[in-house]
Amino acid sequence: MSIEASAPPQLAAVAHVASCRLPTPWGEFTMHGFEEVAGTREHVALTMGDIADGEPVLARLHSECLTGDGLFSLRCDCGFQLQAALEAIAREGRGALLYLRQEGRGIGLINKIRAYRLQDGGADTVEANEQLGFPADMRDFGIARDMLDELGIGRVRLMTNNPRKLQTLRDAGIEIVERVPLMVGRNPHNDGYLDTKAAKLGHLFHGL
């Protein structure tokens, strides 16, 4: 009698390592720390309310943007989106924000500064990345699937303007039941940036 070998179990990309309280201007969240199993990056998630009850969870997958999130840059809409997402979760009393450490759409902080310099010279955000030898977007959202699994979240209502992110997440096995627009932060400094994201990356900014 032959015995068929079973496929080895797929290892998670991240491990949940710690949790704590995190009071914010929008309310008290629980902050969860994750480490990549086969890498050096660390990621966090902020959650509020009962997120493991099987109902769709209002969620945001937010890629790190030091300039927008921490230094209040007006060159992008990242900081505005981060704050709006936390406010929306607090308003519902339930949700999750995954903060992924992939600065500059994956090219890193120093290369992002180099890209900004090219944009100062007339390149748009996509051209700048490509002139540096990178794809327009290098982000990996596969780690989000494992973070959501660790948090007990099976279905999400995703706050995003990026339809490509929706498809990437669905391909990674994340069930998305609704896209929730997150249209905030347009200003004279990021008009061209947002227009390029719409024209070249397919972002949806209707009404912004």
Residues taking part in catalysis: 137, 139
Q: Can you tell me the distance from the alpha carbon of 190 to that of 122, in angstroms, rounded to the nearest whole number?
A: 13
State the amino acid at position 72 in one-letter form. F
At 207 the pLDDT is 43
pLDDT at 13 over 70: yes
Q: Can you tell me the distance from the alpha carbon of 192 to that of 108, in angstroms, rounded to the nearest whole number?
A: 22
**Residue 10: inside a domain, yes or no?**
no
pLDDT digits 0-9 by tens, 40-86: 899 999 999 999 888 999 999 999 999 999 999 999 999 999 999 99
**Residue 40: inside a domain, yes or no?**
yes
**Residue 178: inside a domain, yes or no?**
yes
Would you say 159 and 91 are in contact if contact means Cβ atoms under 8 Å apart? no
Q: Can you tell me the distance from the alpha carbon of 196 to that of 180, in angstroms, rounded to the nearest whole number?
A: 21
Domain count, the chain: 1
In this structure, what CATH number is given to the domain that contains residue 174? 3.40.50.10990
**Residue 56: inside a domain, yes or no?**
yes
Q: What is the pTM of this model?
A: 0.89
Check whether 20 is labelled as a binding-site residue: no
Check whether 179 is labelled as a binding-site residue: no
Grade residue 8 by pLDDT with cuts at 50, 70 and 90: very low
At 3 the pLDDT is 42
Q: Can you tell me the distance from the alpha carbon of 25 to that of 90, in angstroms, rounded to the nearest whole number?
A: 10
Bigger pLDDT: 120 or 13?
A: 120
**Residue 1: inside a domain, yes or no?**
no
Check whether 6 is labelled as a binding-site residue: no
**Residue 189: inside a domain, yes or no?**
yes
Percent of the chain with pLDDT over 90: 68
Q: Can you tell me the distance from the alpha carbon of 160 to that of 167, in angstroms, rounded to the nearest whole number?
A: 12
Q: In whole angstroms, what separates CA 85 from the centre of its chain?
A: 11
**Residue 190: inside a domain, yes or no?**
yes
Check whether 61 is labelled as a binding-site residue: yes
Look up the domain containing 56 and give its range: 19-102+139-198
At 206 the pLDDT is 62
**Residue 118: inside a domain, yes or no?**
no
E strand spans, 127-190: 155-159, 175-180
Residue whose C-alpha is closest to residue 197's, from 130, 121, 136, 133: 136
Question: Phi and psi dihedrals of 5, rounded to 5?
Answer: -75, 135
Q: What is the dihedral of CA 113, 80, 160, 175, to 10 degrees?
A: 100
